[in-house]
Amino acid sequence: MEITERSAAHIARDVNGGTISAREVTDAVLAHIDAVDGDVGSYLTVLHEHARAAAARVDERVKAGEKLPLAGVPLAVKDNMCLTGTRTTAGSKILERWQAPYTATAVERMIEAGAIPVGKANMDEFAMGSSCENSALGVTKNPYDLSRVPGGSSGGSAAAVAAFEAAIGMGSDTGGSIREPGAFCNLVGFKPTYGRVSRYGLIAFASSLDQIGPLTRTVEDAAIAYEAMAGWDRMDSTSIKRYVEPVSRELRTDLRGLKIGIVKEFDTKALGAETHAVYEQAYRDLQALGAELVDVTLPTADYGLATYYLIAPAECSSNLARFDGVRYGLRVEGADVNEMYEKTRAAGFGPEVKRRILIGTYALSSGYYDAYYVRAQKARTLIADDFRKAFASCDLIAAPATSSPAFQFNAKSDPYSMYLMDYYTIPMSLAGLPALSVPCGWVTPPGGDCEMPMGLQLTSPLFTESLLLGAAHAYEQKTKHASKHKPLLGEVPVHRG
């Protein structure tokens, strides 16, 4: 197996054992990035010298006798996370030349565990999107079919891991932005419980929803990455002071004794025969592993989209007010300060960001605050309560991660059809629950000429990451869907059914 194709656990084991150095791994991955990223477009900035210096420090630590859980593991960092001295853009023209003066806590913890940041990954501007098409600074393609999107907003991180340009990608998930690109790119995309991973150093979109998590090729790697990045941080007031269990040592091989809920409202028949068959088979596989399937209901789940698209834009309109041309980022001069504000924000923000700022400002405005924002917060409470009731009769919930495989560029040009892509992931985000997507099968999209991956979403109660990752590991080990196809890496798609 090529160095670039090894799992994070495999790389760390080899580097800690002295059979390969972190520098050798880093050089191999950087060479691979230079060879393929012109086609894939995972990165906005490749950190050649930074990565080699980090690898040298890891090799010194290993030589001194340290055992690092992520020793030498190549890491793609989503470009809304600060890393000292690196360009950090959030995929926006308004921050196109901004350099981070400090490092995000989650990134710092990954580096302390031995990971090597090899690049800053492309993303939908300020994490607003489901396809990575909203980036103002580059185009990222799905490594399994370069005519299709990688998912968003963490599309660059997902594509990097899928194309073997990193072993772990760091993403942020507000309404599905880790889980959806995970499903589209044949990866495990894991969103921990809200507050489990520090948001300090993450450029905010919607502060009550944003959560950092990993994108990996295996559940074991997701567990190791979670252990490294999770935990209380005094720099983040929403960070939760609670023990982080050693999840990587508690991965399961079966699901005996577990009850898994199938949501009555999430009927997959309307998704098309092939997609419906993939999810039905996934549920049967859970049963074959020993789980008891039970019906559960989430009566308010259908209100998730409307609720999310009031709360998230409202928080975004507040958070993005700081980008005004005064303190940092782009400045377009004007006749006075008001004209400077207007010109800077008009030139610096893309159409989707402007759309959400306008929606959010309207929802928070006098006369509409109670009618929209307050009612959305009440609906959010009801959605969380529905999950609590559902978990009274089951241990986990299984659902689709997406309604379709990755779609072609420009296929969803109207905002509403794009927003619908988050239908199955938003309710879990509103409730703050841990959730992940794990590869569950392959579908040939209409008009497509090659199979594309699909993801099964698993969700568990608050702070039960060990249960969630353990169940996903059992499913992954039995089904091995991810290993059916390798990415094309620039080749012309051919039918591989």
For 394-425, the DSSP string reads -SEEEEES-SSSPPBTTS--SHHHHHGGGTTT
The whole-chain average pLDDT of the chain stands at 96
Residue 425 belongs to what domain range? Answer: 3-259+393-483
DSSP 96-126: TT-B-SS--HHHHHHHHTT-EEEEEEP-SGG
Q: What is residue 96's predicted lDDT score, i.e. its pLDDT? A: 98
pLDDT at residue 491 tops 70: no
Residue 241 lies in a domain: yes
Among residues 21, 177, 198, 429, the one annotated as catalytic is: 177
Sign of the CA dihedral 293, 294, 296, 302?
positive
- Count of the separate structural domains present in the chain: 1
Nearest to 119 by CA among 106, 107, 133: 107
Q: What is residue 29's predicted lDDT score, i.e. its pLDDT? A: 98
pLDDT at residue 421 tops 90: yes
pLDDT over 70, % of the chain? 98
Among residues 78, 141, 191, 412, the one annotated as catalytic is: 78
Residue 311 lies in a domain: no
CATH code of residue 150: 3.90.1300.10
Residue 378 lies in a domain: no
pLDDT at residue 490 tops 80: no
Q: Is 404 a catalytic residue?
A: no
128-155 pLDDT, tens digit per residue, is 999 999 999 999 999 999 999 999 999 9
Residue 417 token pair:
């059809």
**Which residues neighbour 356 within 8 Å (Cβ) at sequence distance 6 or greater?**
128, 312, 313, 316, 317
Residue 375 lies in a domain: no
Q: What is residue 494's predicted lDDT score, i.e. its pLDDT? A: 38
Q: What is residue 413's predicted lDDT score, i.e. its pLDDT? A: 86
Residue 457 lies in a domain: yes
154-209 pLDDT, tens digit per residue, is 999 999 999 999 999 999 999 999 999 999 999 999 999 999 999 999 999 999 99
Q: Is 153 a catalytic residue?
A: yes
DSSP, collapsed to helix, strand or coil, labels residue 437 as: strand
Q: What is residue 488's predicted lDDT score, i.e. its pLDDT? A: 79
Q: What is residue 496's predicted lDDT score, i.e. its pLDDT? A: 41
Strands (E), 288-388: 292-296
222-235 pLDDT, tens digit per residue, is 999 999 999 999 99
Helix (H) or strand (E) holding 225: helix 219-229
Do 115 and 70 touch, CB atoms closer than 8 A? yes
Q: What is residue 448's predicted lDDT score, i.e. its pLDDT? A: 80
The whole-number average pLDDT for the span 279-293 is 98
Residue 193 lies in a domain: yes
Nearest to 182 by CA among 484, 476, 495, 437: 437
Give the integer Cα–Cα distance in Å for 442 and 424: 18
Residue 379 lies in a domain: no
pLDDT at residue 81 tops 80: yes
Residue 367 token pair:
């006369």
Among residues 42, 92, 130, 153, the one annotated as catalytic is: 153
Q: What is residue 28's predicted lDDT score, i.e. its pLDDT? A: 98
Residue 290 lies in a domain: no
Q: At what angle do helices 48-63 and 22-40 cross, to 10 degrees?
A: 160
Tell me, yes or no, if the pTM score tops 0.95: yes
What pLDDT band is residue 237 in, cutting at 50, 70 and 90? very high
Do 233 and 112 touch, CB atoms closer than 8 A? no
